[in-house]
Amino acid sequence: MKLRLLVASLAALFALQSGAVLASSTKSQSAGKTAASKPAPKAPAKAAPKKAVSSKPAPKKAVAKPGTNAKPAAKKVVARKAVPAAAAAAAAPAALGADEDAPLALDANGLPLLGSSAFYVINQNTGEVLLERNGSAVVPIASITKLMTAIVVLEAGQSLSERLTITEGDIDRLKGTGSRLALGTTLSREEMLQLALMSSENRAASALARNYPGGESAFVEAMNVKARLLGLWDTRFRDSTGLNPGNVSSPKDLARLVAASAAFPLIREFSTAHERYVDVRGRMLRFGNTNGLVRSPEWAISVSKTGYISEAGRCLVMQAWLQQQPVVMVLMDSSGRYTRTADAKRVRKWLEQGMPQRLAVAPQRAGG
C-alpha cells in the first residue's frame, strides 16, 4: 500500500514537472515569435533607405535623357556669350571706337553681338529690316521724346524768334536733374529748340511746351495725336522732356519717328550740330552734342538723338547714310555709358563688311 502511494506521488510530481516544462517552452516560443516580429518593421525601414538611395540616381538618369533639359543648357551658353560681349563693350569703349580693324564679334547666326537690350535697324529706302531684337517691346524712351517735341513745335508754326524765359515751372521736380539754363534765362524759341535736340536740355524742352497754345497739357496731347497720325501705336507721351518714364514706345515705332523727323530741315540741322554758344544771363556758355559720332568725319548722320533715365537705360537713335542709303538705327537700353555708340559702330562695320548688297539694291533718294 505504501509502495502504491509512493508510486502515485512520484507520478504526480513527474506530471507537475512536465507541465512546467511545457509552459516554459510555450513562453519561449511566444517570446521568439515576438522577437521575430520586431525586425519586420526594421526590414522595411532598411529597405526604404535602399530605395531612397536607389531613387537618387533615377532623377540623374531622367535629367540626362530628356532633350528638353539639354536645350535650356544651350540657352545659358548663349546668354553667357552675350553678357561678356556687352561687358567688353562697356569696359573698353575707347578701343572699340578707335580700332576699326578689330575683328567683329558675331553670334552663331552671323549677326553682330550688341550691348543694347533692344534694337531695330532698317534700310529706310527699301523698308528692309537689317537687324532686330525685341523690336516690338514697349519701353521707356527718355529724351528720344524730344524728337516729337521738336515736330510739334515746328508744326505749330509759332515764331522761332519769340523770346522764352526759363521759370520755376521748368525745374525738374521728378528726377531732380540740373541744368545750366538758370531761372530767368531768356532765349529765342529757336535756341531753346536747338538746345533741346542737340544737348538734350530738359528746361528748354519744358519751356517749349509751356509756351504752346493751351500750355503743357495741350502740347502733350498734340504729341500723342501726332503719334497716332504717324502710326506709332506703341507710343505714349506724358511730358515734353522724356524725364517721365511713362513716355514709352517700341524700337519699331521709334524708327518711324526718326524717319518722320528727317523730313524737317531744322531737326536735321539742330540734332546733328556739334555745338552752340548762347548767352545765359550775360555769360556765353558752350553747349555740345550728346552724340559724339556727329563730330566724326567717318559718319554722315542726318538725325540724331540720345536719351537716358534709369528706367530706360542709355539710348541712341540715328538716321545715318551708309553706301548712299539712309539707315535708321534704334539702340535702346545699352549696358554702359559708351555702349550705344560702340553698338552703332558695330552695326555700321557689319553692314559695310558683310551686307553691302542690302544697302545697294535701292535707288538713291535725294534729301535726308
- Give residue 337's pLDDT: 84
Nearest to 147, CA basis, from 359, 349, 20, 330: 330
Query: Given a cut of 90, is residue 61 above it in pLDDT?
Result: no
146 catalytic? Reply is yes
For 125, the 3-state DSSP assignment is coil
Please compute the mean of the pLDDT values over residues 336-351 and round it to a whole number: 93
Render pLDDT for 95-104 as a digit per residue (tens, 0 to 9): 333 344 467 8
Greater confidence (127 vs 43) lies with 127
What is the tens place of the pLDDT at every residue in 159-215?
Answer: 999 999 999 999 999 999 999 999 999 999 999 999 999 999 999 999 999 999 999
- 345 is written with which cell numbers? 559702330
Euclidean distance between CA atoms 154 and 316, whole angstroms: 22
Residue 150, pLDDT above cutoff 70? yes
Q: What is the mean pLDDT of residues 279-308?
A: 97
Cα distance between the two ends of the chain: 149
pLDDT, averaged across the chain: 79
Residue 200 designated active-site = yes
Q: What pLDDT does residue 13 have? A: 52
* pLDDT of 303 above 70: yes
The model's pLDDT over 247-279, given as tens digits with 9 standing for 90+, comes to 999 999 999 999 999 999 999 999 999 999 999
Q: Does the annotation mark 143 as catalytic? A: yes
Does the pLDDT at position 54 exceed 70? no
* Active-site residue, selected from the candidate residues 116, 146, 179, 226: 146
- The predicted pLDDT at position 102 comes to 61
The per-residue pLDDT for range 18-39, each reduced to its tens digit, is 444 344 444 444 444 433 333 3
9-23, 40-54, 159-173: which range is least confident on average?
A: 40-54
- Active-site entry in 117, 200, 250, 335: 200
Strand partners, 354: none
Read off the pLDDT of each residue in 50-78 and give the average, rounded to a whole number: 38
Q: Which residue among 116, 143, 179, 249 is the active-site one?
A: 143
For the ranges 79-88, 150-159, 335-344, the one whose mean pLDDT is highest: 150-159
Write down the CATH number for the domain with range 116-360. Answer: 3.40.710.10
For residue 353, the model assigns a pLDDT of 85
- What is the percentage of the chain residues whose pLDDT exceeds 90? 64
Is the pLDDT at 83 greater than 50? The verdict is no
| Average pLDDT for 1-19 | 51
In 230-272, alpha helices (H): 251-261, 265-272
Alpha helix segments (H runs only) across the chain: 2-37, 39-55, 57-64, 67-91, 93-98, 145-156, 189-198, 202-210, 215-229, 251-261, 265-272, 339-354, 356-360
135, 118 Cβ separation under 8 angstroms: yes
pLDDT of residue 222: 98
pLDDT of residue 71: 39
Mean pLDDT, residues 116-120 taken together: 97
Q: What is the pLDDT of residue 110?
A: 87
